[in-house]
Amino acid sequence: MRKIGARKLVTAMIAVGILVLASACSSSSPNASTAGNTEISADTAGTVRVLMEGVPDTDIVKGLLAEFNAKYPKIDVQIEPIAYDQIRDKIVASFQATDPTYDMAIIDNPWMGDFAKAGFLKPLDDLIASTANYDYNDFSAPLRAIGEVDGKTYGVPFYNYGLGLIYRTDLLSAAGIAEPTTLDALAAAAKSLNSAARAGIAMQPQRGYKAFEEWGNYLFAAGGSIYGSDGLVHLNTPEAKKALNTYIAMYKSSAPKNSLNWAFDEALRSVSSDKSAMMVSYNWMLPTLNKKDGPAGALAGKFKLATMPGGKQVLGSWDWAIPANSKVSDAAWAFISWITSKEGEAARVSAGGAPARTGVLTDPAVSNTGGGAEYYATVGKILSNAEPLCKGANCDEMINAVGTELNAAIAGLKSVDSALAAAEEQANKIQSE
Amino acid sequence: MSFRARMMIPLLVVFVAAIGYPLISSFVLSLTNYRITRRDETKFVAFAQYQDVLQDHAYWSALAVTGTFIVFAVVLELSIGLMIALALQNQRRFRDFSRSFLLSPMFVTPIAVGLMFRFLLNQQLGAIPAILEKVGITYDFFGPGRAIYSMVVIDVWQWTPFMVLLLLAGLESLSKQPFEAAKVDGASPFYTFRRVTVPMLAPILTVAVLIRSLDASKVFEYVYAITRGGPGTETQTIQYFTYQTGIQFFRLGKASAMSYLLLIMVISLVILLFKRIEKARLVS
């Protein structure tokens, strides 16, 4: 047998020692870039403050904190619920502070591009890749795309607010109308269901975000798109004109009278109080409307969710993110990875939360306790073919500019052609700055 | 340093801290292309932002909307407020109750008032359209050509009591002799009002109109709660437009320039107004 030199033996022993040491370190460090086999240490500690919108999904997350703390007893997650309109200004101030007020953030999809490019958020790719059993690809692809900016991931999907058509099954059935699968069929159905006592469809043409968010679904139903293959906004198209003309016709013939400034709250109240037969709204409104002690009262159970005619719809989402100036990013990631893990997602969705992972949609344990198998099947279809209103930077401004032009056309202050031409021009100018 | 100058020091310190510093720093901001999400790209652009604002059609449109709102709101508040103040001055019974009741709207926070009227005037859900429908009237309160005037009505509902407060205090501070002399001379109530009350009340009226106009120029909450500036841009007031530009769209440099231009316009108008008042006082 050939003798192994002493020097070589020592070198080999040192190498083995380094490997053992590296392995030991990586198993206790959540930030090590190993191939997804890192368990976040239960000793991870810190106070994690987060501002969240005062919606049911936030209440559900709060309800799961005890379970989280059973695994991570040293992490104190402090959730501050607040109205939507106040969130962004507060977190932007925190992002720029030397001593941040918030250690974790939820980011609405129009803000993602601006915040990522401004350096407000920490890239999460390494954390995602290193966390054991995370299976990031289980999240719906359109939702994953929202959190990705310039090739890096800055947000992990929290919950989706993809839109769909919510309608009264009893009214459609009584009128002999099938679930609309084309834009023209939707217009016809709304007109048929319209009466003095009840509008055919509650619409949300309020200037700005709401008008664009609702009309975007009509655009997709007409076979159109917001962006072209060149990455620019293209709204001065035949499909967009058809969509806007149809929208305006439906507003005049089938929507509640004098509802030009209507937004989400008005449409919900109209539908839940039997004053409108349908609405285009967030998919998770269905379980809310069908809840026995919910806002729809005696109408509970009579609502159904469908994809928009044509199968494509507008997508919105909230993402979990870690501010770049967070001083407890380990603890923040421990919480984010826990709440968005397959188990955390199943617990959240079972409690009524809006799904973000695709696996949970076909999990019988979830569908039996949550919104029902049929609802989750529809949500799966919605998430598989959905797109946000805006990609890239300056989204708030772009959405507002387009929504202003749309509202002007709906109000009759501008022609459809000039409104769409102006919307396209302004959107591209804003996004090129 | 004289005693008077030393007594001014605390005021000056507060002024510099609370008003001077923000004024100066926002002016500096207006000379840059500062955007909250692009701080690294900030550079000095001199008066380019001012030029951009002055050439922005949306800015002038917002000013026109605000001007319309101020004129209609203040004229109505002055007229109705004066009538109510005169009635309250002559009231003998239940004075405290009626004054408390009439003044209560101004103690409600404006955003709550906006939300309240958003649903009160809702065609399907609101009480007012329901009452109007019973008499065969359907009115689109927030439709094109009407939304700004509905906002005026909301402002009149909330801020006429403020006018009442000022004018009532003014009426009660007027000397009684001219009124007694007019009565002795056989002057009619309308003549007394036109020739005695109004001239004596003129300084109070001026101050009331000025304060209310400055306040009305800041209208934001009703727009935010109800129309978000629509239909189109018919209710996009200057404060809402500035808020959107600076806070919602992150363009703080441009928003600062907008605010400074508005400040210059308002100060110029106030100075002109006081010069005219002084001139009229000297002539009289």
DSSP string, A333-375: HHHHHHHTSHHHHHHHHHTTPPP-BSGGGG-HHHHHHSS-HHH
Instruction: Look up residue A413 and give its DSSP letter.
Output: S
Partner A, chain B 68-127, Cβ-Cβ below 8 Å: 118-119, 122-125
One-letter identity of residue A117: K
pLDDT given at position B136 = 94
- Chain B CB contacts of A118 under 8 Å are 36-39
Q: Any CB–CB contact under 8 A between B142 and chain A?
A: yes
Residue A396 pLDDT grade (very low, low, confident, very high; cuts 50, 70, 90): very high
Are B232 and A413 a contacting pair at CB < 8 A?
A: yes
Sign of CA dihedral A330, A332, A333, A338: positive
Helices (H), A106-199: 109-117, 125-130, 141-146, 169-174, 183-193
Are A414 and B232 a contacting pair at CB < 8 A?
A: yes
pLDDT given at position A370 = 62
Largest Cα span, chain B: 77
State the Cα angle at A266 between A261 and A268, rounded to 5°. 145
Residue A3 pLDDT grade (very low, low, confident, very high; cuts 50, 70, 90): very low
State the Cα angle at B277 between B272 and B282, rounded to 5°. 125
pLDDT given at position A32 = 35
pLDDT given at position A56 = 86
The phi-psi region of residue B237 (left if phi > 0; otherwise alpha if psi is between -120 and 50; otherwise beta) is beta
pLDDT given at position A300 = 94
β-sheet bridge partners, residue A318: A108, A159
More confident residue, B179 or A213: A213
**Which residues, at least 6 apart from A132, have a Cβ–Cβ distance to it below 8 Å?**
A36, A37, A38, A39
Residue A12 pLDDT grade (very low, low, confident, very high; cuts 50, 70, 90): very low
Q: Over chain B, what is the mean pLDDT? A: 93
Q: Judge whether residue A321 has pLDDT over 50.
A: yes
Residue B5 pLDDT grade (very low, low, confident, very high; cuts 50, 70, 90): confident
pLDDT given at position B90 = 84
Q: Judge whether residue A352 has pLDDT over 60.
A: yes
Q: Chain B: nearest CA to A62, how far in angstroms?
A: 28
One-letter identity of residue A111: W
pLDDT given at position B282 = 79
Instruction: Look up residue A154 and give its DSSP letter.
Output: -
pLDDT given at position A180 = 96
Instruction: Look up residue A320 and give its DSSP letter.
Output: E
One-letter identity of residue A26: S
Are A261 and B227 a contacting pair at CB < 8 A?
A: yes
Give the pLDDT confidence of B21-30 residue by residue, as tens digits: 999 999 999 9
Mean pLDDT of A129-135: 93
> Could you identify the residue written with the tokens 């209103």?
A389
Name the residue among A256, A397, A411 with its Cβ closest to that of B124. A256
**C-alpha–C-alpha distance, residues A243 and B199, integer Å:** 61
ipTM of the complex: 0.90
Are A258 and B226 a contacting pair at CB < 8 A?
A: no
Mean pLDDT of A321-344: 97
Q: Any CB–CB contact under 8 A between A199 and chain B?
A: yes
Q: Chain A: nearest CA to B228, how far in angstroms?
A: 6
CATH number of B50-283: 1.10.3720.10
**C-alpha–C-alpha distance, residues B215 and B121, integer Å:** 24
Assigned token pair, B279: 């001139």
Are A207 and B231 a contacting pair at CB < 8 A?
A: yes
Q: Residue B125: helix, strand or coil by DSSP?
A: coil
- Chain B CB contacts of A408 under 8 Å are 230-233
pLDDT given at position A21 = 42
Q: Judge whether residue A1 has pLDDT over 70.
A: no
Kindly identify which residue of chain B lies nearest to residue A397, measuring between CA atoms.
Answer: B249
B231: cis peptide before it, omega within 30°?
yes
**Which residues, at least 6 apart from B161, have a Cβ–Cβ distance to it below 8 Å?**
B81, B102, B103, B104, B105, B106
pLDDT given at position B96 = 84
**C-alpha–C-alpha distance, residues B226 and A126, integer Å:** 45
CATH level 2 (architecture), domain A163-314+394-432: 3-Layer(aba) Sandwich (3.40)
Assigned token pair, B273: 């107004």
**Which residues, at least 6 apart from B99, have a Cβ–Cβ distance to it below 8 Å?**
B88, B168
> Could you identify the residue written with the tokens 């987060």?
A50
CB contact at 8 A, A219 and A246: no
The 3-state DSSP composition of chain A as helix, strand, coil percent (nearest 5) reads: 50, 15, 35
Are A261 and B247 a contacting pair at CB < 8 A?
A: no
How many CB atoms neighbour CB A89 within 10 A?
12
E strands, chain B, in order: none
Kindly identify which residue of chain B lies nearest to residue A89, measuring between CA atoms.
Answer: B247
**C-alpha–C-alpha distance, residues B237 and B256, integer Å:** 16
What residues does each domain of chain B span?
50-283
Q: Judge whether residue A346 has pLDDT over 50.
A: yes
pLDDT given at position A121 = 98
> In terms of DSSP bridges, do strands A104-108 and A317-321 run parallel, antiparallel, or are they unpaired?
antiparallel
Are A404 and B37 a contacting pair at CB < 8 A?
A: no
Interior/surface letters B178-201, b for 16+ CB within 10 angstroms, e for the rest: eeeebeeeebeeeebeeebbeebb
Same fold, A46-161+316-376 and A163-314+394-432: yes
**C-alpha–C-alpha distance, residues A193 and A189, integer Å:** 6
Are A114 and B37 a contacting pair at CB < 8 A?
A: yes
- Chain B CB contacts of A398 under 8 Å are none
User: How many residues are listed for chain A in this entry?
Assistant: 433
pLDDT given at position A7 = 53
Tell me phi and psi for residue A261, to 5 degrees.
Answer: -100, 15
pLDDT given at position A19 = 41
**C-alpha–C-alpha distance, residues B5 and B2, integer Å:** 5
Topology at the third CATH level for domain A46-161+316-376: D-Maltodextrin-Binding Protein; domain 2 (3.40.190)
pLDDT given at position B284 = 65
**C-alpha–C-alpha distance, residues A76 and A45, integer Å:** 8
Q: Judge whether residue B113 has pLDDT over 80.
A: yes
Least confident range from A225-229, A351-355, B31-35, B223-227: namely: A351-355
Give the pLDDT confidence of B138-197 residue by residue, as tens digits: 999 999 999 999 999 999 999 999 999 999 999 999 888 888 888 898 989 888 888 888
Q: Judge whether residue A17 has pLDDT over 80.
A: no
One-letter identity of residue B262: L
**C-alpha–C-alpha distance, residues B227 and B233, integer Å:** 10
Q: Any CB–CB contact under 8 A between A275 and chain B?
A: yes
Least confident range from A21-25, B1-5, B12-16, B177-181: namely: A21-25
Mean pLDDT of A297-321: 96
What residues does each domain of chain A span?
46-161+316-376, 163-314+394-432
Name the percent of chain A lying above pLDDT 90: 83
Q: Judge whether residue A364 has pLDDT over 90.
A: no
Assigned token pair, B19: 């008003």
> In terms of DSSP bridges, do strands A152-153 and A75-82 run parallel, antiparallel, or are they unpaired?
unpaired
**C-alpha–C-alpha distance, residues B122 and B142, integer Å:** 9
Q: Judge whether residue A344 has pLDDT over 70.
A: yes
Are A270 and B125 a contacting pair at CB < 8 A?
A: yes
Give the pLDDT confidence of A30-39 residue by residue, as tens digits: 333 334 677 7
Mean pLDDT of A132-143: 94
Assigned token pair, B128: 């007012």
